[in-house]
Amino acid sequence: MIDLASLSPEEILAFLLENYDKKEAIRPFFGDEIFRWIHSRWEYDTSRYSNIPKRLRDFLSNETFLPKISAKYRLISRDRSEKLGVELKDGEIVETVYIPFRNRATVCVSSQVGCRFGCSFCQTAKMGFRRSLSPSEIVSQVYLFLKEGNRVTHVVFMGMGEPLDNYENVIKAVKILNNPLGLGISIRRITLSTVGLLPGIKRLINEGMQINLALSLHDPIPEERQRLVPAEGRHPIKKLLPLLMEYYRRTSRQVTFEYVVIEGINDTPRHSRQLTRIVEGLDYKLNLIPLNIPGMDRKTWHRNKAVVLQFKEMCLNAGLKNVTIRLSRGVDISGACGLLAGRNRRDSNQRR
C-alpha cells in the first residue's frame, strides 16, 4: 500500500501508470486532480473523488492509503494560539501549534515523534526519539487547522523533532505545501529550524530553495553551547558558519539565529562579544527568546523577559544590529518554544 498524500502530482500519475491495469483509462491530469483532492480540498476519502472514474477510485481505495490523523486534544491560549495533540495512525502523538498574530497565521509543525538531539531546555528531548513523520503526516497537521476554517500564511518547522534529521520527508512536505495545486504557500514563508546538522545544511544548499533557515544557536561559545545543544559535538559551530555563509550566498535569505536567553548561563558581555564574531559577513537576525519552563508562574515569566531585555541591550552595545525579541506565544498551553511534548493517551483523554 502506498501513502497517496506523500506523493507529488507527477508521482501519483507515475504510480497509476505503473500499477493500474487499464492504463489506457489514465488521463494525464489524473495526477493533478487526485493531488488537488488531497491537498486543496483536504478530502481523504478517495470514494468521493467525483471527477475520477469509479473503477479507478476503487483501485485507490484498495491499493493506497491516506494518513489517519486526528486531533486528540486541544488547548487554547489566552493569546488565541491553539495547540493540538495530533494522534497518528500508530497511536503516537505529536503536537502542533496555530499562532494567529496580526496579519500572519502560522502553523508550527512537528517533524518527528520525540527527538534524538537532547537539548537541555527542551521538553521534546525528554521523550527520546520514537520515529520520523512521513510527508503526509507533516502536511496534514496544517490541514487540520485549515479544515476548521482557519487561514494559514506561514509554516514553521519548529515543533517536535529536528527537521534535518528527517530530511527527505521534510523536503517533500515543503514541496507539497508549496505546490500551487495544493496550499501554494510561498517557500519564503516556510522556515526550517535546526540545531545545525552539517550534512542536512549541505544538502539544503544544493536544493536551490529559498527556504528560511533558523539556527538554534543558544550559545556562541562552543564548549558552553555543547551543554545546551549536545549536537555541537558532532556539528560544531566553526564548521557550520561557512555553510551558513554559503547558504546565504546561494539563496540571499537572511539567516536567523535563535537564542534562548538563560540567566547566568549565556547572557554575559562575553557572549554578546562572541556573537558579533559569529554573525560577521552574514545577513542575519538574532532572535532572543525568553526561557520557557513548564508550569512557569507569572513572576518567573516576567523575570525571564527582563533577562532577555537586558541581554538585548548588551548585544546592541556590542555592535550587533538586527536583534529582535521573540516573545513566545501559547506559554499558558505549553505551546511555546521548547515546551512541546506529546502527552500519552491517558493524559490526552483527560484533556479533551
Q: Residue numbers of the site for ligand SF4 (CB under 6 A)? A: 115, 117-119, 122, 124-125, 160-162, 195, 216
Residue 169: CB minimum distance to ligand SF4, A: 16
Q: Which is nearer to ligand SF4, 56 or 156 (CB)?
A: 156
Between 33 and 219, CB nearer to ligand SF4: 219
Identify the DSSP state of 12. H
Rank residues 182 and 200 by Cβ distance to ligand SF4 and give the closer one.
Answer: 200
Annotation marks residue 95 as catalytic = yes
Cα(155)–Cα(178) distance, integer angstroms: 10
Residue 263 makes CB contacts below 8 A (sequence gap 6+) with 291, 303, 304, 307
CB of 294 to ligand SF4, least distance (A): 13
Residue 257's nearest CA partner among 178, 337, 324, 174 is 324
Choose the catalytic residue: 108, 119, 315, 337: 337
Question: Please, what is the minimum distance in Å from the beta carbon of residue 116 to ligand SF4?
Answer: 7
- Closest approach, Cβ 196 to ligand SF4, in A, equals 10
The one-letter amino acid at 72: K
**Which residue has 475520477 as its cell numbers?**
52
The DSSP-derived string for 244-286 is: HHHHHHHH-PPEEEEEEE-TTTS-SHHHHHHHHHHTTTS-EEE
Which of the following is catalytic: 95, 137, 232, 258? 95
User: How many CA atoms within 13 Å lie on the side-chain side of 225?
Assistant: 24
66 or 211: whose CB is closer to ligand SF4? 211
Question: In whole angstroms, what is the distance from residue 88 CA to residue 70 CA?
Answer: 7
Q: How far is the CB of 119 from ligand SF4 (least distance, A)?
A: 3
Cell of 33: 486532480
Residue nearer to ligand SF4 on the CB measure, 60 or 125: 125
* Active centre residues (catalytic): 95, 337
